[in-house]
Amino acid sequence: MSRNTDHWERRFLRITQDRIRDERALAREITRMHQRSLQNISKELERFFERYAKNDNITLAKARQMLSRADQQSWSMSLREFRQKAKEGGHSQHLNREYYRSRVSRLQQLETQINKELFELASGEERLLKKHLTGVIDETFHRSAYEVERGTGVATNFAKLDTRAINSILNTSFHRSNFSQRVWGNKTRVLSKRLKDTLSTGLSQGHSVNKMSKALSDEMGIARNRAVTLLQTESAQIASQATLKAFEETGVEEFMLSAKLEVNTCKRCWELDGKVFKVKKAKIGTNASPLHPNCRCTEIPYYPDMQRNRRARDPISGEMKNIGNITYRQWRVQLDKQHGTGRIDTEIKKHQNRVSDKKQHRELRNLLGRGVVPRTFADFQELKYLQPDEWERLKQQARGARVGR
């Protein structure tokens, strides 16, 4: 077998890297979609308040009463109806009729509009995900199969994936539902209910439009994060399936799990790094990626004579280095030897605490001024974790400043 082992692993890793790069762009698009929906819903809410101010037929108190009696189920039900109506092509007509029917309460109008927004949001998200996942299957399968042939020098005449095969991967259920059911579930069951609860609470407690808008915005933020996690997880699961299918088609019998050589790789993944499994025994979530949300592990075709030729960035110096045929665990031992025991653990801590540290950095700079607190965040973390005396002094100064206020 004339396999070029030099670039073997790296070529498969690149397939994963490219996918993750695409997902970053999609996450931005998902964010925009959620922001647009939020804007529209907020506008509806404002309009709702305006109408009450102008029309005394129904008072706000009466609306609150109606709302507290409203059936908790009705929202998700009507969103489901919307979807059905849209499929039949009559959803805008239905909406207009609902909207203008005088007997329909204004509150129901608001609910109907929000349902329409959520319907559009879920439809858009489903379309986006379907397009991306279809591309992931096609690209991952064909690139993996091509790399196996190129690396082994053996042409296998693997069968290209047709639409049916792609759809069969696309619609596979993980944990009893597929991507489409999850998208709709998140919007109909979760977000719809949470928005309704937010409005109910706001109206019954007499919150201002601004306060309610802020609460809606928070809910939409949570929904956005959930949507991005869904994208990443579904995408990784589907890529893993396509990879394993390519291995089957090209006669690869065993694969090795390769974890990303970065300090923030989780322990579960780095303990599996370099472990070899039979393709037939592959089980996504157990010995194949993703092992958890946001997992960046990759399956590499394994041959007993293969030598890993890995590259990794030194987390302290930032330098890219050839580290050869070692596992993640061995890399960690190497780094500890090189930089001193505990130094890498500190890097991990820096990474894990970066969100709260950023907040702390801002607060301290506001409290003590720029001359006292390091200007850059990197320097601030350096001081906090690696210069204990300086850090202690800074904390004392902060305490003094707070008392003095």
Residues engaged in binding Zn ion (CB under 5 A): 269, 291, 295, 297
Nearest Cα to Cα of residue 104 among 74, 73, 134, 127: 74
| CA triple 274-275-281, angle to 5 deg | 140
Which CB sits closer to Zn ion, 147 or 299? 299
Which CB sits closer to Zn ion, 18 or 46? 18
Which CB sits closer to Zn ion, 109 or 243? 243
Residue position matching structure tokens 């919307």: 82
Which CB sits closer to Zn ion, 187 or 260? 260
Which CB sits closer to Zn ion, 183 or 291? 291
- Nearest approach in angstroms of CB 75 to Zn ion is 37
- Nearest approach in angstroms of CB 291 to Zn ion is 5
- Nearest approach in angstroms of CB 20 to Zn ion is 12
- Nearest approach in angstroms of CB 276 to Zn ion is 16
- Nearest approach in angstroms of CB 259 to Zn ion is 6
Which CB sits closer to Zn ion, 44 or 299? 299
- Nearest approach in angstroms of CB 340 to Zn ion is 27
- Nearest approach in angstroms of CB 257 to Zn ion is 8
Which CB sits closer to Zn ion, 136 or 291? 291
Which CB sits closer to Zn ion, 228 or 291? 291
Which CB sits closer to Zn ion, 217 or 264? 264
- Nearest approach in angstroms of CB 16 to Zn ion is 10
Residue position matching structure tokens 């994936």: 161
Which CB sits closer to Zn ion, 161 or 297? 297
- Nearest approach in angstroms of CB 12 to Zn ion is 14
The 3-state secondary structure of the chain reads CCCCHHHHHHHHHHHHHHHHHHHHHHHHHHHHHHHHHHHHHHHHHHHHHHHHHHCCCCCHHHHHHHHHHCCCCHHHHHHHHHHHHHHHCCHHHHHHHHHHCCCCCHHHHHHHHHHHHHHHHHHHHHHHHHHHHHHHHHHHHHHHHHHHHHHHCCCCCCCCCCHHHHHHHHCCCECCECHHHHHHHHHHHHHHHHHHHHHHHHHHCCCCHHHHHHHHHHHHHHHHHHHHHHHHHHHHHHHHHHHHHHHHHCCCCEEEEECCCCCCCCHHHHHHCCCEEEHHHCCECCCECCCCCCCCCEEEECCCCCCCCEEEECCCCCCEEEEECCCHHHHHHHHHHHHCCCHHHHHHHHHHCHHHHHHHHHHHHHHHCCCCCCCCHHHHHHHHHHCHHHHHHHHHHHHHHHHHC
Strands 254-258 and 298-301: antiparallel
- Nearest approach in angstroms of CB 316 to Zn ion is 23
Distance from the Cα of residue 358 to its chain's centroid: 21
